[in-house]
């Protein structure tokens, strides 16, 4: 999820959720206040592979036991009335790219783990430090939603629900920005002897980067599908891509991912 304390953004998560007339209307109306042209797909910002990744044969790496992970691709971010709908992700291309990735991974025999990771902004009942408490409260201040509306906000978007299959792993992040803490995700990966983790989802510079960093520290080989992710604001994507690609994981497009898997067919 995008960091509400990002010093260059000028807009906090609190302001996105509840502050300002334009943003408030957009959250209710599915971000209709924002022109679609302002939210181009992030594929154009995907950098050239960093020199170290060019030494790798990614097609060979994608033959290893692999897991697909969708992070925070919820109605909150994609659908009209969602708590974070002002970000207008439905118009920004990540959903179509994600579907392309899931469909390709389903056809690859070495992808044996499919994981749908939720991320709720309503965290009153989550384990939390005093830092967490004040931060989580700021996300939903003024949003006195009933339980059924919160449950709807947390649901994975319908297009991806249609991609669920028996045996998929469904969980919610319990830590600030990673599925590796407080969930059964590490056990899922260990039991299936996973080596490669392919990541899609929102937000690129929070949960995706956080999970890519954690994956590296746990000894896995993460690959980020750039156009199947997005930052809170499109102009933040380039710096996030460069940081992830330079230090933590290769960043490739959904088309490149499909092409690499086709070489393995």
- Give the pLDDT confidence score for residue 141 in this predicted structure: 93
- Give the pLDDT confidence score for residue 39 in this predicted structure: 40
Give backbone dihedrals phi and psi of 246, rounded to 5 degrees, phi first: -75, -30
User: Binning pLDDT at 50, 70 and 90, where does residue 225 land?
Assistant: very high
The C-alpha R_g of the chain, in whole angstroms, comes to 18
> Strand locations in 45-135, DSSP E?
66-71, 111-118
Over residues 55-72, the pLDDT tens digits come to 999 999 999 999 999 999
What's the full length of the chain, in residues? 265
Over residues 104-130, the pLDDT tens digits come to 999 999 999 999 999 999 999 999 999
Over residues 5-18, the pLDDT tens digits come to 333 443 434 344 43
Residue 84's SS3 state is coil
- Give the pLDDT confidence score for residue 26 in this predicted structure: 38
Distance in angstroms (rounded) separating the CA atoms of residues 77 and 70:
13
Give the DSSP H or E segment for 224.
strand 221-230
* 163-196: b (≥16 Cβ within 10 Å) or e: beeeeebeebbbebbbbbeebebeebbeeeebbb
Distance in angstroms (rounded) separating the CA atoms of residues 68 and 257:
12
pTM for the predicted model, two decimal places: 0.86
Edge to edge, the sheet with strand 221-230 lists: 169-172, 111-118, 66-71, 196-202, 221-230, 251-252
DSSP 31-51: STTS-GGGS--GGGGPPPPPH
- Give the pLDDT confidence score for residue 255 in this predicted structure: 97
Over residues 241-264, the pLDDT tens digits come to 999 999 999 999 999 999 999 998
Domains of the chain by start residue, with CATH? 13-264 (3.40.50.850)
Among residues 218, 220, 206, 207, which one has the least CA distance to residue 249? 220
Give the DSSP H or E segment for 254.
helix 254-264
- Give the pLDDT confidence score for residue 62 in this predicted structure: 98
Give backbone dihedrals phi and psi of 116, rounded to 5 degrees, phi first: -115, 105
User: Could you report how far apart the first and last alpha carbons of the chain are, in Å?
Assistant: 34
User: Binning pLDDT at 50, 70 and 90, where does residue 42 land?
Assistant: low
- Report whether 196 contacts 221 (CB < 8 A): yes
């Amino acid at each position: 999820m995008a960091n509400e304390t990002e010093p260059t953004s000028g807009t906090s998560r609190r302001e996105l959720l509840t502050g300002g007339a334009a943003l408030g209307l957009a959250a209710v109306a599915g971000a209709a206040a924002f022109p679609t042209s302002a939210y181009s797909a992030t594929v154009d910002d995907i950098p050239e592979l960093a020199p170290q990744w060019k030494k790798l044969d990614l097609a060979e790496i994608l033959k290893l036991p692999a897991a697909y992970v969708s992070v925070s691709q919820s109605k909150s971010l994609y659908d009209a009335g969602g708590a974070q709908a002002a970000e207008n992700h439905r118009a920004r291309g990540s959903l179509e790219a994600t579907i392309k990735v899931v469909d390709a991974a389903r056809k690859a025999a070495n992808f044996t783990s499919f994981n749908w990771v939720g991320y709720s902004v309503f965290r009153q009942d989550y384990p939390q430090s005093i830092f967490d408490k004040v931060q989580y409260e700021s996300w939903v201040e003024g949003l006195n939603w009933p339980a059924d509306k919160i449950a709807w906000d947390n649901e994975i978007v319908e297009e991806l629900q249609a991609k669920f299959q028996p045996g998929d792993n469904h969980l919610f992040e319990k830590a600030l920005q990673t599925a590796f803490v407080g969930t059964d995700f590490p056990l899922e990966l260990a039991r299936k002897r996973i080596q490669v983790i392919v990541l899609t989802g929102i937000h690129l510079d929070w949960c995706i980067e956080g999970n890519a960093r954690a994956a590296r520290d746990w000894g896995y080989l993460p690959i980020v599908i750039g156009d199947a992710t997005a930052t809170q604001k499109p102009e933040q994507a380039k710096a996030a891509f460069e940081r992830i690609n330079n230090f933590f994981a290769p960043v490739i497009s959904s088309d490149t991912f499909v092409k690499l898997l086709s070489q393995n067919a």
